[in-house]
Amino acid sequence: MNIYFGENLKALRQKRNLTQEKLAEFLNVSFQTISKWERGDTYPDISVLPEIALFFKVTVDDLLGVNKAENEEKLIKQLEAFDNLTDGKQREVIILELKKNYPNDHRVLLRYMSQLIHFCDAVDSLSKVTAIYENIQKNCNNDKIRITAKRELAEFYKKLAEIDNSGISFKDCEKLLEEMPRMKDSQEILHSFLYSEEHPEYFNSCAVAIETSLNLLCQAIAHLCFYNDKYSTDYKIDIVNKCNNLLNTIYDDGNFGEAWRVIIFNTGHLGRLHFLKGDTNKALEYFKKATDLAKQFDSLKRKTILHSQLLNGKEFDKHSQGSNWVAKEHLEFLLKERYPLSEEFKNSEEFKALF
């Protein structure tokens, strides 16, 4: 259980407008002792706690933050339960309840912000999202939460910039992007560079850096050339196949870890490209491979262990792809709604058999 004595003592002292020196005088200790208590460097003797609690007219439990510690454990469990949910409506109900019970917790506010961005009307949510973002940037001292909120807002601004009269332009998004850390300054890359081979997290940090870099590489290639007329269809097929060959080399055990979305999307895209070339048999072949991969992903347990030669022993949590992401449903939407496939092709028995 966490002890919050130091920060509670500081808050109680400041509430009474007392300096460390004045409190030290009342408690008959040095002000350096008060300073160490508030920093959490040391704690008072247990026999002194009742005296301090009496001085501030609180209980010893309040002074130690026992209730706060219990609430923290309870909240962590609730946040984990929320993150594990796949039902969108259920997530909305729970995040609203969490926001009601923990209105000032930035972890809750970040999740509520994300819910507004991804599952509510963008224009209607703008003022709420902006208010939450400003709260986090001003009052949260956790850099990870602040940076994640900035990324969420950048994605939100990108969406709003494409809506007429939203009041947001892409320049607003670019301002946020300029404030984000560079890729080489990321936690994953720095861990893999700075941990020694003797460090207990050395292997995992390197594995995470490899998966993250590989994922970003494939996504950047996709954004650059998949729908760009600058590149020929044959070149696109070649580059996607090379990306997939690299993924199959890294994940030679058939569990694609953090790259599951990439391998499924790439394989489906190969089907799309062959259809554009007029080769429907090849298109069906790749659509079948993509469907099989999607089914394989959906059938995975939430947490599995990679057994590829390079990443053997690395844990993969499929919820990292999105706790409510169902691969087969997503692929089916792409094939039926997004890819430029003819109605004749989609009505064929071979295509229908994919689902």
Per-residue pLDDT, 68: 64
C-alpha 329/C-alpha 336 separation (Å) is 10
C-alpha 206/C-alpha 200 separation (Å) is 12
Contacts of 184 (CB under 8 A, 6+ apart): none
Per-residue pLDDT, 1: 46
| pTM for the full predicted model | 0.69
Name residue 88's amino acid: G
Closest CA to 29 of 10, 15, 46, 44: 44
Residue numbers of the chain with a pLDDT score lower than 70: 1-3, 66-70, 323
Per-residue pLDDT, 186: 87
Max CA-CA distance within the chain? 88
Per-residue pLDDT, 26: 86
Two tokens at 314? 């690395």
Two tokens at 238? 């070649």
Number of other residues whose CB lies within 10 A of the CB of residue 96:
12
